[in-house]
Amino acid sequence: MELSFTNTEIRKICEDNTVAKETYGQEVAYKLKSRLADLIAADNVMDLPVGNIFMYNNGDAYKCKIDLSGGYKIIFCQNHVKVPLDDNGETNWSKVSRIKILQISRNE
């Protein structure tokens, strides 16, 4: 999949393992690196092999959460210009191949 980031802070954390360790500690940084590799290797969101993925609608957009460690999760949304939809008009995650990392959080 293709990844993008909601801001430069999230990009730096995701792309620089030293920054990830300083921000979240070694265990979370390790899981983050592993989950990002899984995301990049997958053809679409439904191909993700691990991470306890949870899809939800928070009222303004459909998002996904993937477990990291210590209660932290990667939160992302689809990043297509034209959102792939299913027959019910919901995001068809099996056709989502572009995502935007929104945050790494314990609170959402």
Give the CATH number of the domain where residue 57 resides.
3.30.2310
In which domain, by residue range, is 35 found?
2-105
Average pLDDT over residues 77-105: 91
pLDDT of residue 55: 79
Question: pLDDT tens for residues 4-35?
Answer: 999 999 999 999 999 999 999 999 999 999 99
pLDDT digits (tens, 9 = 90+) for 39-83: 999 999 888 876 678 878 777 778 899 999 889 999 999 999 998
Query: Can you name the residues that pair with 66 across neighbouring β-strands?
Result: 74
The token pair that represents 12 in the structure block: 């730096």
Q: What total number of domains does the chain contain?
A: 1
Q: Are 103 and 75 in contact (CB under 8 A)?
A: yes
Name the amino acid, one letter, at 32: L
Residue 104 contacts residue 10 (beta carbons within 8 Å): yes
Distances from the Cα of 58 to the Cα of 12, 38, 54, 62, 63, angstroms: 26, 24, 12, 7, 7
Which phi and psi angles does 55 have, rounded to 5°?
A: -105, 140
pTM listed for this prediction: 0.89
Confidence of residue 108 (pLDDT cuts 50, 70, 90): low
CA distance 76 to 73: 10
Residue whose tokens read 């993008």 = 4
